[in-house]
Chains A and B, each alone.
Chain A
Amino acid sequence: MAKIEPLQNLMAEYLNEATLPSTWCPGCGIGTTMGGLVRAVSASDIPREKFVLVTGIGCYGGAGTYIRMSDIHALHGRCPSYATGLKLARPDLHPILLMGDGDSSAIGGNHLIHAARRNINITAIIMNNHIYGMTGGQYSPTTPIGTKAATAPFGLTDHPFDICRLVAAAGGTFVARTTVYHVAQLASLIGRAIAHPGFSLVEVESICPTYFGRRKKMGSPVQMLHWLKDNSVSAAKAKEMSPEELEGKVVTGVFVEEHRTECVAEYQELIKRIHAK
């Protein structure tokens, strides 16, 4: 992987000026996440035409419009299955899934865990803002219990997913988390995820000032970023902390990095074996 470039050097090449400005709210974490993606893609050794962005629906789903790369803007939650078919049919391609917390762990939860189980060589960048933004602030599977949301006017009564633990348990072989405050780590982890030969996940802890922060009285986007900074704990440091100390904290870093057989490569081997007979 080449050196990670400052974002302003890449904008002319990667941004689709005709479609800008974006429809995203001021202060939204998607722009920062896209910045990390562009920097990681430009630093990788893979030609840009071999990447395919696969997006669901919702605010983050529009990302493919703004970046000059091929994309599939298909159905809510089904990114992993479109990408699974594409990768199996075209092993030379690198699908990158851009999914939100609802997209990946609610409507598309089944596809996410099975893509991880297969350890198929695709990369998921899940941006977690703990709320359904585009549809108006309804709760998601990662909304903290007790939070008020458009569909939880009295406070949410069910428990949230930890997406990294979910994907790790399902068999993902590269699992990491960062935040939109940690911009350098964001680009670096996406780069490592792309280079990883198996199912890779980077969960990006993000902010939705409009539908999450406002209801929780978290202040401006800048104050929300400060909240992320103040409440983030590295995985190494988290090991020395008690569960009580970790309550409400965002643990960042790489949780899983291992090598296991990958399903597309295995299937190609199977075809070779059949033809060798």
Chain B
Amino acid sequence: MKGQSKEVLLLGNEACVEGAIMAGVRFFAGYPITPASEIAEHMSLRLPQEGGCFIQMEDEIGSVTAATGASMGGVKAMTASSGPGISLKQEGIGCAAIMEVPLVIVNVQRGGPGIGNIQPAQGDVMQARWGTHGGVHMIALAPSSVQECFDLTVKAVNLSERFRVPVMILSDASIGHMREKVTLPESLELVERPRPKVDPKDYLSYDTEAPDGVPPMADLGTAYESHFTSFIHNKKGFAAWTDYAITDALVHRLNNKLLMHLNDILLIESYLLDDADMVVVAHGSTARPSKAAVNRARQAGIKAGLLKLLTVWPFPYEHVRSLAKRTKTFLVPELNLGQLAGEVERCLGEKNVLHQVNRVDGGLLTPDQILAAIEEAK
């Protein structure tokens, strides 16, 4: 990439678009839904300018599957939605996962269940991990600022290409509709999916002998005959679900190809944790008021620290476990009734105590509310 870094004022949703385009995304398919629509709108403006393609599909399943089809043709692709729209996309997300097609899905979360409301929420933490049937491992990244919308979208595109997986960005209505200064980098590292180097006649669509668990992927329409199959399949890409050994190996490989690369995937920020008596674990739009609350707790003499998760899935179990060995108290602020808290709880020992502070009324958690929870948990 050429040019100089520059500062611009962007909406969170626009920053996702700019990050995606700078990371090489040239196809977007979407269906309008509040609070994600600005992503489709901005893509419809920006993509043709970059020689790419935008299409408004007839529904959410059509959007995620059109984006998957584009990616199979070798073009980096993205879709976006919110709440009920993401629920619809789950069919296509699971299909992209088993077919191992790189894809980015932005989930600008809103309240639920059902149509719920269009207020900020963090109710899709578990849906991002377990939303599709079959329980395949997912990557989910959570921005807490407009700059992070840009940065994490770039990261999402690169991770999806590197590991041939769908990657979800867990934004929400407050971040998507927030306008902040963003520094657009002069250049950035672009990652391309591993493409085959073998002779076309030797190509296997799912070469499980690849040492890192990620098989090379040919673009459709080349000399490489490709078989993208959403059935449990063999290396060639043909249905093989009656074979226990092949089924077992495939399901394990799809999970392990992320677990064996955790160092490349986990993004965590530790703030004042070295001497902390209390760990606040937060992500997305609760990370910012949590940081403010930690600062005010410190002023009041409470040794609180913040563990901010930019990668929500895979969850950093080892990291939280090691914190639990030297810190007794944990507090998880969330805009749901305790989805991330459940994962933190799995890492705690007998001596640890878990506290929660939650909001599900459509409002954001404030530093005051989190500080009050810190003081109560102390």
Question: Chain A residues in contact with chain B, CB under 8 A?
Answer: 19, 49-50, 52, 54, 62, 64-65, 68-75, 78, 81-90, 92-93, 110-111, 114, 267, 270-271, 274-275
Cα A12 to Cα B221 in complex, Å, equals 22
User: In the bound complex, do residue B228 and residue A50 qualify as a contact, i.e. CB atoms below 8 Å apart?
Assistant: no
Cα A87 to Cα B29 in complex, Å, equals 13
Question: Chain B residues in contact with chain A, CB under 8 A?
Answer: 26-27, 29, 48-49, 51, 53, 55, 57-59, 61-63, 65-75, 77, 91-92, 95, 99, 219-231, 238-239
User: In the bound complex, do residue B228 and residue A74 qualify as a contact, i.e. CB atoms below 8 Å apart?
Assistant: yes
* Residue among A65, A68, A89 with max Cβ neighbours from chain B (10 Å): A89
27 residue pairs of the A-B complex, CB under 8 angstroms, read: A19-B238, A49-B221, A49-B222, A49-B223, A65-B238, A65-B239, A68-B225, A70-B226, A71-B226, A73-B227, A73-B228, A74-B230, A75-B91, A81-B58, A81-B61, A82-B72, A83-B69, A84-B29, A84-B69, A86-B70, A86-B72, A93-B220, A93-B221, A110-B59, A114-B57, A270-B48, A275-B51
Cα A68 to Cα B29 in complex, Å, equals 30
Cα A74 to Cα B93 in complex, Å, equals 11
A54: chain B residues within 8 A (beta carbon): 69
Find the B residue at minimum CB distance from A118.
B55
Find the B residue at minimum CB distance from A68.
B225
User: In the bound complex, do residue B61 and residue A85 qualify as a contact, i.e. CB atoms below 8 Å apart?
Assistant: no
Cα A82 to Cα B101 in complex, Å, equals 12
User: In the bound complex, do residue A85 and residue B58 qualify as a contact, i.e. CB atoms below 8 Å apart?
Assistant: no
Q: In angstroms, how far is the closest chain A Cβ from the Cβ of B289?
A: 39
A72: chain B residues within 8 A (beta carbon): 69, 72, 99, 220, 228
Cα A114 to Cα B225 in complex, Å, equals 29
Q: In angstroms, how far is the closest chain A Cβ from the Cβ of B123?
A: 26
B72: chain A residues within 8 A (beta carbon): 72, 82, 86
Shortest 7 CB-CB distances between A and B: which pairs? A85-B66, A85-B69, A89-B70, A90-B73, A82-B69, A86-B69, A85-B70
B49: chain A residues within 8 A (beta carbon): 274
Q: In angstroms, how far is the closest chain A Cβ from the Cβ of B81?
A: 15
Q: In angstroms, how far is the closest chain B Cβ from the Cβ of A76?
A: 9
User: In the bound complex, do residue B239 and residue A111 qualify as a contact, i.e. CB atoms below 8 Å apart?
Assistant: no
User: In the bound complex, do residue A85 and residue B221 qualify as a contact, i.e. CB atoms below 8 Å apart?
Assistant: no
User: In the bound complex, do residue A88 and residue B223 qualify as a contact, i.e. CB atoms below 8 Å apart?
Assistant: no
Instruction: Find A71's partner among B55, B61, B66, B228 (CB 8 Å cutoff).
Output: B228
User: In the bound complex, do residue A93 and residue B73 qualify as a contact, i.e. CB atoms below 8 Å apart?
Assistant: yes
Q: A52-B221, A89-B27, A90-B221 are in contact. Are A267 and B48 (CB under 8 A)?
A: yes
